[in-house]
Amino acid sequence: MIEGKVAIITGAGTGIGRSTALRLAKEKVNIVLNYSRSESEARKTQQEIEAYGVQSLLYKADVSNDAAVRRMIDETISRFDRLDILVNNAGVTDFVDHDDLEGLKDEYWDRVMNTNVKGMFYCCRAAAPALKKQRGCIVNVASVAGLTGLGSSIAYAASKAAALSVTRSLARVLAPEVRVNSVSPGIVQTRWVEGQQAHIKRLAEGTPLERIATPEDVADMIYSLVAHADFVTGQNVVVDGGMFI
């Protein structure tokens, strides 16, 4: 039973974060909705999850800022007096063709690593003491790019490979009190791929399930790891419709 527990979801205003917030709220989990830029979307998500009768906290913080992350954790504990679940969903990318080596600027590397790797770690580190008290869990949203080296840029793929490594390391460090797992979606129908219908159709036709993932597909797997995987830690679950089998 996860009813009454408290979850922080980073990047919760849109896409996978939004769907995960709704999925957990449906199970009566109280939600801290983190966002950095998508304030109007995050407020709309907050209204939707509160329709399930749960409590929520809307919190603006850039996860690449360690001090801001620590304040978010402190505010969560102050408000709810507990933290049980952390879903690290916040992520960024810059689209750079892999063969355009000169086009992969230092600023792109810094931005993607600061958010996708260091930001994820900052959240895990700050949340760890509270999660240990509740024997809680962490789910990190990675990507098949971290397994294949494909994706929006070489830097993005590298950041997701690093996220998978950090997940395994933290699963050892935080055990036995805290479980740490990850999910690796393939291409997901979010605003990142808006306007790329021909590309989406081509990819979907090459998968066994003949479609790309929806945010709800990924949210369902995150929910499963949170609620139904008490003996699973240090694992990565691919959610790609069989694209890379």
pLDDT recorded at residue 243:
87
pTM value > 0.85: yes
52 is catalytic: no
pLDDT recorded at residue 245:
85
pLDDT recorded at residue 96:
95
Q: How many CA atoms lie within 13 A of 113 on its CB side?
A: 10
List of domains in the chain? 6-239 (3.40.50.720)
The pLDDT averaged over each successive group of 10 residues in the chain (245 residues) is 97 96 98 95 97 98 98 98 98 95 97 98 98 98 96 95 98 98 88 60 75 94 98 97 89
Residue 82 makes CB contacts below 8 A (sequence gap 6+) with 5, 6, 130, 133, 134
pLDDT recorded at residue 75:
98
* Catalytic member of 35, 108, 122, 156: 156
Residue 16 makes CB contacts below 8 A (sequence gap 6+) with 89, 141, 185, 188, 190, 215, 218, 219, 222
Which two three-digit tokens encode residue 94?
A: 């810059």
pLDDT recorded at residue 220:
98
Task: Match 């694992």 to its residue by tokens.
Answer: 235
Backbone φ and ψ for 181, nearest 5 degrees, come out as -135, 175
